[in-house]
Amino acid sequence: MHFAGAVRRAEILPIMHVSRNVVITGTALIILLLAWGAWSLMPQRIIETAPPPAVTHDGDLLRIRAGGPLDGQLMVEPVTETLSPHQVALPAQVITSPGQSVDIHSPVVGRVANLYVQTGQHVQKGDVLAILYSGDLAQAWSDDRKAQAALTLARQAYRRAVGVLNVGGNAVKDMQSAKNDLEQAQAEATRAHLRLQALGTDGNAGYQPLVAPVSGIVTSVSTGVGQNVTDMTAALMNVSNLDTVWVQASLPESLLPMLGTTMTLDAAFPSQHCNGPVTSQDGTIHMDTRRLNLYLRCNNLQGTLRPGQFTTATLNITQQSQPLLPKTALLMDNDQVSVFVETAPNAYRRRFITISYEEGESVRVLSGLKAGERIITHGAILLNDY
């Protein structure tokens, strides 16, 4: 029995050993499967190599990599030149032509007897605008008549003195005295007559006419029938000839250096357009506005333009041929302005330039560029930090 039990134990031991190996192997396989599953579920890391830089430096030259992020973002165009004048917009207004706006003053003290015009009325040169009763005018007529009478008497006395001298009945000094009296009488008669002419009378003693000195429009009336005129320096009315008017454009003091010898002005109004060479300009700057006034003569035969009317005038200043660049090509660095110039395909070099006037969305170049050179006109800012 002991032998039989030993045999059974000997048979069972190998079986148990095989079973243990199977379990260990299975467990190892399960662990490997679980590890593989966990690894497959983890995000995979892709190791990438760094791309070449978009911009490389070759001294002061910037080279753009073909196919890079900047390729196709830069617009390159040739520099062009322009002969067009420089244009400056200026505030402007219509004014009366010099010498064509006349204030009407009374040459004598008196009272307004009749008034024949009103504001806005058209008159012709020589038309009577008003009549004044005037004691001063009556005095002038009296002085003229007395001067003429004295002249007649002095002339007779001189003839008589000459006749008496010729027959030997008078001294030479008497003839000379008569001649002196005649010359003084002639001078007084001339003065009195010129006084009447200056007053512009029509032959009616005591009635002083106010006459239109130019053809035009009565722009103001500051008197009325029955008013006593005691101040001969006060304007009673104004007459302005508006067949030709001037456009006055005000140029700021800061723009004086750009003035040239050849300039034109354009002024647009709802009813017409005025343009032509600058007619005149002030010799001094106005102290209150710090501006210099430029003038353009403009025909106004239809009477559509009125003094005081405002507009914007364009001053055209003739310029020499200059390169013209769009503002988008400029890079600002403090007080310096630069652009990128193409030296070869995808190769650019920064160049500093000097600019002058702005022309809308473009600027004129004084130095640093010439016509035909190719520059980056759009997208240059992308290279500014390289």
pLDDT tens figures, 230-284: 888 899 999 999 999 999 999 999 888 888 778 899 999 988 999 999 999 998 9
For residue 250, what are the β-bridge partners?
293
Contacts of residue 175, defined as CB under 8 A and 6 or more positions apart, other chains included, come to 158, 161, 162, 164, 165
Out of 192-201, 233-242, 277-286, 311-320, pick the least confident: 192-201
* Domain ranges across the chain: 1-48, 58-83+320-383, 88-99+242-317, 135-205
Share of the chain above pLDDT 90, in %: 34
What's the confidence (pLDDT) of residue 262?
82
Average pLDDT over residues 16-26: 65
**Length of the chain, in residues:** 386
Average pLDDT over residues 51-76: 83
- Fold equal for 88-99+242-317 and 135-205: no
What's the confidence (pLDDT) of residue 16?
54
pLDDT range class, residue 11, cuts 50, 70, 90: low
Residue 37: left if φ>0, alpha if ψ -120 to 50, beta else—which one?
Answer: alpha
Count of Cβ atoms closer than 10 Å to residue 264 Cβ: 16
Condensed to tens digits (0 to 9), the pLDDT of residues 323-340 reads 888 988 898 887 889 999
Instruction: Write down the CATH number for the domain with range 135-205.
Output: 1.10.287.470
**Homologous superfamily assigned to 88-99+242-317:** Efflux pump adaptor protein, beta barrel domain (2.40.30.170)
pLDDT range class, residue 66, cuts 50, 70, 90: confident
Out of 4-8, 242-246, 355-359, pick the least confident: 4-8
What's the confidence (pLDDT) of residue 19?
64
Element (H, E) at 32: helix 2-41
pLDDT score of 1 more than 60: no
pLDDT score of 29 more than 90: no
Top-tier CATH class for 58-83+320-383: mainly beta
What's the confidence (pLDDT) of residue 384?
81
What's the confidence (pLDDT) of residue 125?
92
- What rounded mean pLDDT belongs to the chain? 84
Whole-angstrom Cα distance, residue 300 to residue 83? Answer: 32
- At 244, list the tokens: 């030709």
Whole-angstrom Cα distance, residue 84 to residue 314? Answer: 14
Condensed to tens digits (0 to 9), the pLDDT of residues 148-176 reads 999 999 999 888 888 888 877 777 888 88
Average pLDDT over residues 315-326: 84
pLDDT range class, residue 47, cuts 50, 70, 90: low
What's the confidence (pLDDT) of residue 55?
84
What's the confidence (pLDDT) of residue 313?
95
pLDDT range class, residue 45, cuts 50, 70, 90: low
What's the confidence (pLDDT) of residue 302?
86
Residue with tokens 């029938």: 225
